[in-house]
Amino acid sequence: MNNPPIRLGLVGIGKIARDQHLPAIAADDRFRLVATASRHATLPGTPGHADIDALLRGGHGLHAVSLCTPPSGRFEVAAAAIDAGLHVMVEKPPGATVSEVVELARRAEKAGVTLFATWHSREAAGVDAARVWLATRSIRSVRIEWREDIRVWHPGQDWILEAGGFGVFDPGINALSIATAILPQALRISSSTLHVPANRAAPIAASLAMVHGADTPVSAEFDFLQTGPQSWDIIVETDDGVLRLSEGGRRLSINGTAALESANREYPRLYQRFADLIAAGDSDIDLRPLQLVADAFLVGRTISTASFEY
């Protein structure tokens, strides 16, 4: 007999909730969306509340919540849900600071609920194959190029350039989530340069120098002002040729020959994994991408650049 569906609440009805979460939940019969919480938005036909406390008091028989709010303020929402005994799935980045996510992990373990800190880019089609290919090669260098147009992908999202909004690390952390998943050894930050608009608090561009394992150089260029062609590429030079993951991990080529390309199933895969984690009584919290961003801020040299308006 099939288990009854997981009664899910969705918090923060914005761009990613509408673009990806709603279709993925609707297509997954292990979940039933029963209510939402968002200060301004509601969904037709679904009970909506203004905040997490009203959602939790709403009498919806919730088993789980999925959080699609910005990282700042997510801790209070996640903590309230965990303390109410609900399983919690959070968008990336899992929090505004490393220490608040560590505290969420502690609370989830104590409460015996699942905490799933998602990294959607790791679910892109080429990522698993890249990890397998690289596992048996010797890596000589890695180059990350993550350049996108903030006005196209984050229209009017002022929070992203506020303190705790991550700035260009909001997309950049996706690259770091892939890099930490496909590279066999640990990454560490050695230096970084952060370009912060004069009228904003978070970087709009960043250059990182990292080391993989003992001494393999890894560079990353993150740019939020890229017009024209956009690039979300990771290029790994090995003793056996060049691996290129492009289009955010969707397309994989080896030595210039296409090895894999597939449609985007990142969010259906995330919800499948959330259901599996709940069934197994496990959590999945990998802090490495967030830790790298925190370290980039710790050692970062800040350069003030031209003011930015949408």
Cis, bond preceding 93 (omega within 30 deg of 0): yes
Q: How many angstroms separate the CA atoms of 88 and 33, rounded? A: 14
Tell me if 31 sits within 8 A of 23, measured CB to CB: no
* Shortest distance (Å) from residue 264 CB to ligand NAP: 11
Tell me if 199 sits within 8 A of 310, measured CB to CB: no
Tell me if 293 sits within 8 A of 173, measured CB to CB: yes
* Shortest distance (Å) from residue 246 CB to ligand NAP: 18
* Shortest distance (Å) from residue 169 CB to ligand NAP: 10
* Shortest distance (Å) from residue 249 CB to ligand NAP: 13
- Which residue from 157, 176, 155, 284 is spatially nearest to 232, judged by alpha carbons? 176
Which residue, 16 or 211, has its beta carbon nearer to ligand NAP? Answer: 16
Which residue, 92 or 250, has its beta carbon nearer to ligand NAP? Answer: 92
Footprint of ligand NAP on this chain (CB under 6 A)?
Answer: 12-17, 38-41, 68-71, 73, 91-92, 120, 153, 157, 159, 170
- Which residue from 173, 191, 209, 194 is spatially nearest to 286, judged by alpha carbons? 173
Strands 31-37 and 6-11: parallel
**Structure-token pair, residue 40:** 């301004």
Name the residue with the smallest CB distance to ligand NAP: 14
Q: Helix, strand, or coil here: 226? A: coil
Q: Which of 21, 63, 92, 195 is catalytic?
A: 92
Residue recorded with tokens 């003793």:
239
92 in active site: yes
Which residue, 69 or 114, has its beta carbon nearer to ligand NAP? Answer: 69
Which residue, 15 or 151, has its beta carbon nearer to ligand NAP? Answer: 15
- DSSP letter, residue 20: I
Residue recorded with tokens 């992203």:
160
* Shortest distance (Å) from residue 21 CB to ligand NAP: 9
Which residue, 31 or 119, has its beta carbon nearer to ligand NAP? Answer: 119
Q: Is the dihedral of CA 31, 38, 70, 262 positive or negative?
A: positive
**Structure-token pair, residue 117:** 């800190």
Residues forming the active site = 92
